[in-house]
Structure 1
């Protein structure tokens, strides 16, 4: 199942269909008389890099720690606000491409689709005796949005095409095309723009240090006329028209001022368009599909589904059948992979809160990188669904953030190493946010994103086994993050190492007399993330054969971290003290990091405490929260509980994005926080893999959390730790066939109590008996084996 399909045009943004090549994004609406492509480019942010005032928080840090020692939580909460900093900059919309048809708006046989196997959207309808079609894609190899418009009767395309933007912009005419030039705002405070502000054409931009941009549109028509005049491109009496749109910005790097020369942008766009238009449309399309499918086709997922109720629109089908429609379960899984490829290609920026798609000058939460869960969650499916290349933008951003984060911790806290806080942006903002004491420390002050982000560096190594990457890129950044943690930790009265001050992201606790606080000592999530980083640093050092005094210091500090605790309800304790939750059903489950994505809690009483915590939290939640709980229940091997969460996720949410009605999906299947956040899509895709294949314990476990509705199926081409690619088939909820491809010489260990028949190209079959419930295979690089399991 690879097709989203609708019998009506999109009325709102959350009904439009997303296209992207990692850098350029478009939402395709599919209107009959008026077509709209809402456009984005991943470096269009407010800015430039902020020149923050000098912060020195050492006195406040000392004061907060003293107040916490005295259990004066209210005063500590207030003092923490003195360490707040500026908000991040905001992700901006590029503009709109409008196509006005001269044939009216009364159409029959309307059909709108997004084929995620080819990354192409289509619109088809009939007016009178004429069939009209539109086909669109954004090419990664050629860096253009291409739109082909056709009519079944010759010379019946009569169009007026225009460009606009909510940013400061102007348009100009060129031969057979249009040019849109503009600038982003220099600041991001909410009063600068308003969501409903009407576009205004500015003749001059004035002096600005903000990012400049240019979008350039060109048209090629068959047996028709093209004229550009007064900001409109008119096409008359054509049978086929192809539009090519390119965009360039003056972004020069996270630590550089943007350029101001529109001529340079014009030169870039002209070169892009010249290359794209030097070949035929069909050749351009073929190159696009070939490039895209080199990533997408690596993984296949089937639950043996029947094509139930195919006549229904995709959103209607999801709403009617929910997770019972296994074809929709398959589609949403691959949709997450499609969205990651579309929003995160190597050399581009990482996927932000909305991936790459945003139509507002004041996007929810600035459409920034929220580092206390959401950015990391975006990349949970990257390695496991065989999209390591799509992980690279985040890994590069972490490397850049270590630079700004190193400067920040030196100036603010007088410490070495690096970290960042709750949010970052294009300019790799590392400071706490919150403004001038206006925020809440529960989200504004959280200096643990550096250690969490380092997990992605280590995961990339585990799946790829790339020792050069580990030595030259990952380990130096991980070491800097661990150095910050070593200096940030303090000793408590029992000799344990803890963090102080500390918060559990976005949650609060009750202390004396029913007062609510958020700042305390030693939150469980802090300690789990640091344990995770220290463990991964030690493992990386072992791989790289590094043994020195610093490594011994990390090992010693890891052993002295305050141990996990089980609270009075049998739950995993969220804070150092067994406080009562202000919100027992809070959407964040931060203190369960050690169970997923971490690996600190894998069995025993603490895993049962995780189960109790999830039971107390309940199954309700926003889109991304449902995704995290899905992954956690998969780690707990409870497939039925995961399936229950799917019934909540497979719920179509109102397109009114500002109304909070609980998690689910919008009509275009984008994740609903609400409003739109893409992390719900990505966490679902990662969760599906976790239900079928797990490898975090040092061995591969198959079908650990399969629900009873998934009686048979196949999942092929996924990755497991150790450099292996794996495909698994099952019947009657029992593994029948496993195929393993080794990408780096290693030993794969499969948990199994059944005898397996091993087949290898050019070799005879042989049987392997399990030993103590495991089957081990020593494999060479590029070796491929099949294991048939006895029934």
Structure 2
């Protein structure tokens, strides 16, 4: 796109504004190298400037005359009074299976629910506690004259956001970050000397399920919030700091007049207390958190437990904020150093034009809708935004939830929880290839903290050993979300799906201690569940039968392909990991025997991989979920070399799903995109991301939405987009790299820097130019190793060099050409020439 045309479009866009806000006339000059600029005020919280550190989140939205600061925390789950007790169904599995076999799944589920009632179930769907806002802070600032040169900026690489404008008094800025080093939200308003005058007010909490006390003084704004339904509450504290001027308070707000700057230091401290009669381990009175020595409040504290509320928690919180520096830049420096060290590891260049890269998000997204295309510049920004949102939302004790780490509503869709039958997995897809392994700490911490609940799920629901994750979780891990209309109790493969990342952590990092102490124990517990669950289900051929079985949100039926594929991956990884470490020899024998007895995947008479691997059940292709393609989008089970017929059947299944589905859910586009790259279908993968842009499933702050419009903030699109892009250009197994496996026609030239591959390989740089017929990759390794490097046959590889020395190229299976190379410790460059 030529710059004059971009300038014309921008001028036309700006001229459409009339009234109280005049946008910046040169937003391109404000554009960070990695970030975005917006030139319209955010009228709703979903479009607000978004920041976070994995523990706390914040959004700033509104108008310079009245901005609203929304403050969130990863541990804020609103107790709705759900009874946290699983029914003791006893040993009902064999009888349930018999009923399903004779009378069908409807009668089998009816039997399960009857037994659940006998075991103490209340008869209704139990909702997870809802992710809720911490508090809203109004920042009022009178605006003499016209507000002009308005812009909002998110600098992804620095972890900072700001809004800037001018009025008759001069130029003003309101900057914000959530510190990774100090666990504090910091926001400052600056302007001409003596011209910063604000009124700051914390809104009263607007929920009948919270008893809240808000206090304002000249130096502090605090809130004390108690959950009506038990389990604790949370403290909030804002330290008000001004340079120059005067501060006063009327008890309902704080007013600052004539200052040079006003800075707010903000923190939320959740606290939890036991819930009598709860079986959920985090709330169980027997949990050592409540019975052991009382913890001290520290700056790094995410949530504090106690037998009862202790007023000293607020005292300690205020004392810590009081001890912090008051200068914004002093606080920002260590934060941005820590943030940038993570974010700047990776980068992408897809050939976006300078003109489009400089466009504000509103116009860039408008163009995608109007032109019905995804430009390279927009995809570059979506790629960076995905990494930014993940870093904001992935914390030391929690992974991203449905909304990342932000919500401005007290009644969030789907409770805003950890929805584990698709969404949480998509949130975290990018972590390892995008070189952000450290951000997965909260993922492992969450499941570790819920482990007693996961054991109870397996025992209470199906009388099995091992662990079982339900389809929904929030502040505990009990699998309570099921009833007659929602058979979530039948969905059993979630735990083994979660295990995918446990093993991938080892594959990407080479961390054998993590494999031994964390991954293998978790996977063993997953396998233990399957050993018991599948016992006694052998058919005439000795194959095990998954019954009951439920393909995520699309229907029940024996032997869902997802159950077979996920269990296949779990057992394969567990066996491989144990043999690598030389441990669990008896277990390996059992797991190999079970793996050999899994039912086969089936292909129907249209050549499509079936979603239910039983001959009696047909396909339901008009659906956003496509769990039968797990072997394509997650586990790499489908391979043209190992099983070309199954590989082609998966492609038919994917095309049929895409062609039939009429649903507008981002997670559906993301999983079809991931499946497409896994099957070498780059153009289809690109089109899935393009649908997000065309349907405007992205807010102006570049946070994804669940539906087009955008409607309902939901960050799974942010987590999956960078992973889809990375897999277009590089896919890996230990000892094997495929370069350019699914390059779409729309991206013929570009580069990736700082990503990672399985086998503990750093991809320092990958460059490709299809028109020139060249590809270069620089790899780094901590040790010498042998590695297959190959490209798809349709690229026509003619020459390869490593370290400048030509090496012979040969067939690597039926669809790839490349070479087996020895790479040294350190870095090495490999070049490839292929047909233009």
What's the counterpart of residue 608 of structure 1? 648
Please tell me whether residue 265 in structure 1 is matched to residue 321 in structure 2: no
- Deviation of the 1:325 alpha carbon: 2.0
What's the counterpart of residue 770 of structure 2? 732
- 1:501 maps to which of 548, 560, 566: 548
Whole-angstrom CA distance in 1 between matches of 2:330 and 2:695: 38
Whole-angstrom CA distance in 1 between matches of 2:645 and 2:188: 60
Report SS of the residue matched to 1:328: helix
Whole-angstrom CA distance in 1 between matches of 2:648 and 2:141: 62
Report SS of the residue matched to 2:282: coil
Whole-angstrom CA distance in 1 between matches of 2:212 and 2:578: 52
- 2:390 maps to which of 314, 317, 340: 340
- Deviation of the 1:624 alpha carbon: 1.2
Q: Does the 8 A contact of 2:356 with 2:377 survive in 1?
A: no
Structure 1 residues 384-395: aligned runs within 5 Å: 384-395=433-444
Whole-angstrom CA distance in 2 between matches of 1:427 and 1:105: 52
- Deviation of the 1:495 alpha carbon: 1.7
- Deviation of the 1:423 alpha carbon: 1.1
- Deviation of the 1:50 alpha carbon: 7.2
- 1:331 maps to which of 381, 400, 403: 381
- Deviation of the 1:241 alpha carbon: 1.5
In the superposition, relative to structure 1, how do residues 554 and 212 fare at CA in structure 2: closer, same or farther (>3 Å)? Answer: same
Whole-angstrom CA distance in 2 between matches of 1:162 and 1:668: 25
Structure 1 residues 404-415: aligned runs within 5 Å: 404-415=453-464
Whole-angstrom CA distance in 2 between matches of 1:56 and 1:296: 47
- Deviation of the 1:340 alpha carbon: 0.7
Whole-angstrom CA distance in 1 between matches of 2:612 and 2:801: 50
In the superposition, relative to structure 1, how do residues 274 and 68 fare at CA in structure 2: closer, same or farther (>3 Å)? Answer: same
- Deviation of the 1:118 alpha carbon: 1.2
Structure 1 residues 63-142: aligned runs within 5 Å: 63-82=95-114, 83=116, 86-103=126-143, 106-142=146-182
- Deviation of the 1:612 alpha carbon: 0.8
Whole-angstrom CA distance in 1 between matches of 2:445 and 2:596: 31
Structure 1 residues 450-599: aligned runs within 5 Å: 450-489=495-534, 490-508=537-555, 518=556, 520-578=557-615, 583-599=620-636
Q: Does the 8 A contact of 1:568 with 1:578 survive in 2?
A: no
Report SS of the residue matched to 2:355: coil
- Deviation of the 1:14 alpha carbon: 2.3
Report SS of the residue matched to 1:354: coil
Q: Does the 8 A contact of 1:45 with 1:92 survive in 2?
A: yes
After superposition, what is the alpha-carbon deviation per residue over 1:395-448, rounded to whole angstroms, capped at 9, x for unaligned? Answer: 22222333311122223322211111211122222x2412xx35321x453122
Report SS of the residue matched to 1:553: helix
Structure 1 range deviating more: 104-113 or 543-552: 104-113
Please tell me whether residue 416 in structure 1 is matched to residue 465 in structure 2: yes
Whole-angstrom CA distance in 2 between matches of 1:71 and 1:599: 36
Instruction: Give 5+ residue unaligned stretches, structure 2.
Output: 1-32, 274-280, 291-304, 792-796, 812-816
Structure 1 residues 589-668: aligned runs within 5 Å: 589-603=626-640, 604-618=644-658, 621-651=664-694, 653=696, 664-668=697-701
Whole-angstrom CA distance in 2 between matches of 1:18 and 1:391: 20
In the superposition, relative to structure 1, how do residues 682 and 35 fare at CA in structure 2: closer, same or farther (>3 Å)? Answer: same
In the superposition, relative to structure 1, how do residues 303 and 559 fare at CA in structure 2: closer, same or farther (>3 Å)? Answer: same
- Deviation of the 1:730 alpha carbon: 1.1
Whole-angstrom CA distance in 1 between matches of 2:146 and 2:213: 33
Whole-angstrom CA distance in 2 between matches of 1:307 and 1:340: 26
Q: Does the 8 A contact of 2:769 with 2:775 survive in 1?
A: yes
Q: Does the 8 A contact of 2:602 with 2:614 survive in 1?
A: no
Report SS of the residue matched to 2:212: strand
In the superposition, relative to structure 1, how do residues 151 and 457 fare at CA in structure 2: closer, same or farther (>3 Å)? Answer: same
Please tell me whether residue 237 in structure 1 is matched to residue 281 in structure 2: no
- Deviation of the 1:104 alpha carbon: 5.8
Q: Does the 8 A contact of 2:237 with 2:317 survive in 1?
A: yes
Structure 1 range deviating more: 357-366 or 288-297: 357-366
Structure 1 range deviating more: 324-333 or 637-646: 637-646
TM-score (norm 1): 0.89
In the superposition, relative to structure 1, how do residues 548 and 691 fare at CA in structure 2: closer, same or farther (>3 Å)? Answer: same
Report SS of the residue matched to 2:631: coil
Count, aligned residues: 736
Instruction: Give 5+ residue unaligned stretches, structure 1.
Output: 187-208, 509-517, 654-663, 760-764
What's the counterpart of residue 317 of structure 1? 364
- 2:415 maps to which of 353, 366, 374: 366
- Deviation of the 1:709 alpha carbon: 2.0
What's the counterpart of residue 282 of structure 2? 254
Structure 1 residues 126-205: aligned runs within 5 Å: 126-152=166-192, 154-164=193-203, 165-166=205-206, 167-186=210-229
- Deviation of the 1:456 alpha carbon: 1.0
Whole-angstrom CA distance in 2 between matches of 1:14 and 1:586: 27
Q: Does the 8 A contact of 2:173 with 2:191 survive in 1?
A: yes
In the superposition, relative to structure 1, how do residues 271 and 475 fare at CA in structure 2: closer, same or farther (>3 Å)? Answer: farther
Whole-angstrom CA distance in 2 between matches of 1:702 and 1:54: 49
What's the counterpart of residue 41 of structure 1? 73
Whole-angstrom CA distance in 1 between matches of 2:86 and 2:471: 19
In the superposition, relative to structure 1, how do residues 146 and 556 fare at CA in structure 2: closer, same or farther (>3 Å)? Answer: same
Q: Does the 8 A contact of 1:432 with 1:446 survive in 2?
A: no
Q: Does the 8 A contact of 1:703 with 1:735 survive in 2?
A: no
After superposition, what is the alpha-carbon deviation per residue over 1:639-678, rounded to whole angstroms, capped at 9, x for unaligned? Answer: 222222232111354xxxxxxxxxx223333222222221
Please tell me whether residue 439 in structure 1 is matched to residue 439 in structure 2: no
Whole-angstrom CA distance in 1 between matches of 2:449 and 2:432: 21
Report SS of the residue matched to 1:497: coil
After superposition, what is the alpha-carbon deviation per residue over 1:180-236, rounded to whole angstroms, capped at 9, x for unaligned? Answer: 2212353xxxxxxxxxxxxxxxxxxxxxx3222111111222221122331311111
- Deviation of the 1:75 alpha carbon: 1.6
In the superposition, relative to structure 1, how do residues 311 and 701 fare at CA in structure 2: closer, same or farther (>3 Å)? Answer: closer
Whole-angstrom CA distance in 2 between matches of 1:587 and 1:558: 29
Whole-angstrom CA distance in 1 between matches of 2:165 and 2:267: 27
Whole-angstrom CA distance in 1 between matches of 2:97 and 2:553: 20
What's the counterpart of residue 195 of structure 1? none
Whole-angstrom CA distance in 2 between matches of 1:348 and 1:506: 28
